[in-house]
Amino acid sequence: MTTWYTSEHEWISVEGDIGTVGITPYAAEKLGDVVFVDLPAVGKQVKKGGDMAVVESVKAASDVYAPVSGEVIEANGVLADKPETVNADAEGAGWFCKLKIAAKADLDGLMDKAAYTAFCESQ
């Protein structure tokens, strides 16, 4: 499994043609306490860079963008009752959805962990 990162602070862990997507711990920290997550419906087609979900915190509501194009095949129902899971474990139990990736080429241009860490340090 390989994990990639976007400049908008989303992550995607890829295994085969399935990607698990969420926001990074950096994003969760910047948002503050997450109070609601509006997840995409199973079956929704998302486009790379397009709106995929919304995360609301005590500070603000933020769009979550799809790191790749594909079809939503699963949404993390735990977040409906426990949105704070995003803050507690952003790259683990706080994942948002799973996508069937339309084209692996969409991963081109995403950052690996080292590049993303450097990106955050430059912010």
**Mind listing the domains of the chain with CATH numbers?**
2-106 (2.40.50.100)
| DSSP class of 16 | T
The model carries a pTM of: 0.96
Question: Two tokens at 78?
Answer: 């735990």
Report how far residue 27's alpha carbon sits from residue 53's, in angstroms, rounded to the nearest whole number.
Answer: 14
The answer to whether the beta carbons of residues 61 and 34 sit under 8 Å apart is no
**Per-residue model confidence (pLDDT) at position 69:** 98
Query: Average of pLDDT values for 90-118?
Result: 97
pLDDT digits (tens, 9 = 90+) for 99-110: 999 999 999 999
Which pLDDT band, with edges at 50, 70 and 90, does 1 fall under? confident
What ranges make up the beta strands (E) of the chain? Answer: 2-5, 10-15, 18-23, 34-38, 45-46, 51-57, 61-65, 70-75, 97-101
Report how far residue 83's alpha carbon sits from residue 110's, in angstroms, rounded to the nearest whole number.
Answer: 26
Report how far residue 83's alpha carbon sits from residue 46's, in angstroms, rounded to the nearest whole number.
Answer: 22
Q: Tell the burial category of 31 from Cβ atoms under 10 Å away from its Cβ (0-12, 13-18, 19+).
A: buried
